[in-house]
Structure 1
Amino acid sequence: MRRPLALVYRGPAAKPVECSEAAAELLSSSPRRFDVCYVGPKERLEISPRTLASATLYIQPGGGGLKRGYRAMKSYKKVIREFVGDGGRYVGFCLGGYLAGASPGFALLPGDTDQYISTCGATVRSTDETVVEVLWRGRARYLYFQDGAMFLLRPDARGVDVLARYRSGEIAALAAPFGAGRVAVAGPHPEATSDWFEDAGLHVPGGSGFDLGHDLIEAVMA
């Protein structure tokens, strides 16, 4: 039986490259047993209607700042929106979550994004690498975090599955419909591998969040 194909962006909007590689590792370890390929301006596969037509899922990893990331990705906005609108799946981590918003971004969410650390009640105020506590499906968990997004819903948003909230109550992860497809986003990094924490000198109570990353993928594939 042919396994579903997942595409992971690797390019200037996903720096360092470990962001793309961690997303690929998460997909490869998923119970859905994805085949994983990288796409990007210097990869064998480019982001195009033909490439996306063969895929089930597209992942936009974390990376640098939103404005710089959007400049690198804005030429792909139309094709990514059409892919999801026609039944594809989009997953965005950190910058990939910001890019799912509208100001600027691909406008895939029933709302928009904002910077969590700048909000009243935020438990993290710095852009440095750290660990953030979230309530994931009501259970306290700790995830790698570096200036991730929170997600704002329009009053008319329907069919949204809120997976996690920051301790302040703001949305940290969700899945929602877009056209015939679905979108899932996370401000923190449930895809972070153990070396991310080790390199930053961070301790995570409860261990890796890979199981939460798998949950995010299942939510978008539902």
Structure 2
Amino acid sequence: MHLSAARRPAVLLAGLLSVVLVLAVGCSQPKAGAEAPPRSAEPPLALVYNGPQGCDECGPAVAELLRRAPQHYRVEYVGPGTGKPLTAATLAEAQLYVQPGGGQDLDRTWQDLRGSADALRDWVRKGGSYLGLCFGGYLAGRDPGFGLLPGDTHGYAGSPGSTVPDDRDTVLEVSWRGKPRHMYFQDGPAFRLDDGADAAVLATYSNGAAAVVVAPYGKGRVGVSGPHPEADASWYEEKGLANPDGVRLDLAYELIQETVARN
């Protein structure tokens, strides 16, 4: 077909564009044997107990902490009233189980949990991670409790040398890895470890009692804290308290990381 002089440049340009397009598409194809880019991994699952207890906000506060943590977790609630019972099948999908604070009656809460105790212990023993905060720290102990610690718990408030005389909400100083830090506290436990126990004490109270502990349990790990490292600004504002260090969550993130670290 004959082309006029005016149409020849346009046809030549179209041809050149076609060649460039073919080359571009060809360059975008993966070479033979090359691996496809990895898909982003789904965040690990953390289960947070949110059954009957004395604090409606404690479970959600931990859930928000886990979602925002550097490790970044997916969160599901478990326990009576959540629609998801704490069973071996439920635990099998998770990396971390959190027993939050807020309980008022240890014996009453244990009635809701003791049917799940064997499944939880077995899961931790095989590699799961248990995080107990305040009331959840008490429940990591014995009689009643899951019995996950190389030792037991006792109340810090009113104990010999304690700076807290009763169950009031307060801010207290601990020694965290040898450095002074201030933490939110409300009638939390201290931890009495067995002689020679295989455990890391991350923080102590002013009387030397263990305040934050991480210990192995079989192939898994158990992290417990008497104070509340997860307390955000709303906790302090509600009780008219101030933290001299400022409201920071770095201790909570460190405790989570230590609890899920592999042996």
TM above 0.5: yes
> What does 1:65-84 correspond to in 2, within 5 Å?
65-84=105-124
Q: Identify the residue that residue 175 of structure 1 maps to in structure 2.
A: 214
| Matched letter for residue 89 of structure 1 | S
The runs of 5 or more residues in structure 2 that have no matched partner are 1-40
- Name the residue aligned to 2:177: 137
State the aligned residue count: 220
Tell me the CA shift for residue 209 of structure 1: 4.0
For the 8 Å contact 1:143–1:209, the answer to whether it is kept is no
Instruction: Indicate whether 1:119 and 2:147 are aligned.
Output: no
Q: Which one has a larger percent strand, Structure 1 or Structure 2? A: 1
Measured in 2, the distance between the counterparts of 1:209 and 1:71 equals 35
Match for residue 201 of structure 2 among 140, 147, 162: 162
| Larger gyration radius, structure 1 or structure 2 | 2
Alignment map for 1:59-70 (pairs within 5 Å): 59-63=98-102, 64-70=104-110
Is 1:90 aligned with 2:117?
A: no
Any idea what SS the aligned residue of 1:117 has? Answer: coil
Aligned amino acid, residue 215 of structure 2: A
How far the C-alpha of 1:90 sits from its partner, in A, is 0.2
**Aligned partner letter, 1:205:** P
Does the residue aligned with 2:157 lie in a helix, a strand or coil? helix
Which 4+ runs in 1 deviate beyond 3 A? Answer: none
The Cα RMSD (Å) is: 1.1
Between the aligned partners of 2:83 and 2:70, the Cα distance in structure 1 is: 26
- Paired letter, 1:146: Q
Question: What do residues 125-144 of structure 1 show as CA deviations (whole Å, max 9, x unaligned)?
Answer: 11011111111111111111
Q: Distance in 2 between matches of 1:209 and 1:85?
A: 32
CA contact 2:158–2:166 (8 Å) conserved in 1: no
How far is 1:16 from its partner? 1.3
State the identity %: 48
Pairing 1:17-36 to 2, within 5 Å after superposition? 17-36=56-75
